[in-house]
Structures are given as C-alpha cells and as structure tokens.
Amino acid sequence: MTTHFITAEIDLQESPLALQREVEAELQKRGEPLRWSVTAVDLERQKAVVEAIVTQSTQTEVPTR
C-alpha cells in the first residue's frame, strides 16, 4: 500500500453535503481517502481546492512454480 498527497479542484456545490459527496467521489478515483480538507475557495471561478492523503493498494505478484 502506498500513500499519496494530492490536490484537486472541485466545482462548488449548492450545499455543504453536495460538496462533500463531490469531493469524496473525486478522491475515490485516485485511491482510498484517509483525510482531506478544503484549503482554498475561488469564488470567481466557483472552485474549491482540496488537499488529501489517499492510499492505493499495490499488487505484488507471487511467483508460480
């Protein structure tokens, strides 16, 4: 398993609950989120910047005999 620090831009939503769902859906594309936070909001562009730590499982091949 590896961990990665990522940033993502998310479109602002009409409600906090919808924003949370949108953030979690975007992060799931990149791995399993351990934690995340909104670190900036650009009102002109209607974007939120999210920083997150995600884990990704690594597949190790087992040699066959």
- Give residues with Cβ within 8 angstroms of 51, minimum separation 6: 5, 6, 7, 36, 37, 39
pLDDT digits (tens, 9 = 90+) for 10-54: 999 889 999 999 999 999 999 999 999 999 999 999 999 999 999
Q: What is the number of other CB atoms lying within 10 angstroms of the CB of residue 22? A: 17
Contact 53, 33 (CB under 8 A): yes
* Eight-state DSSP code of residue 45: T
Quote the domain boundaries for residue 8.
Answer: 2-56
User: Model pTM?
Assistant: 0.79
CA distance 1 to 4: 10
In a domain, 15, yes or no: yes
Instruction: State the total domains in the chain.
Output: 1
Is residue 29 situated within a structural domain? Answer: yes
Is 64 a member of any domain?
A: no
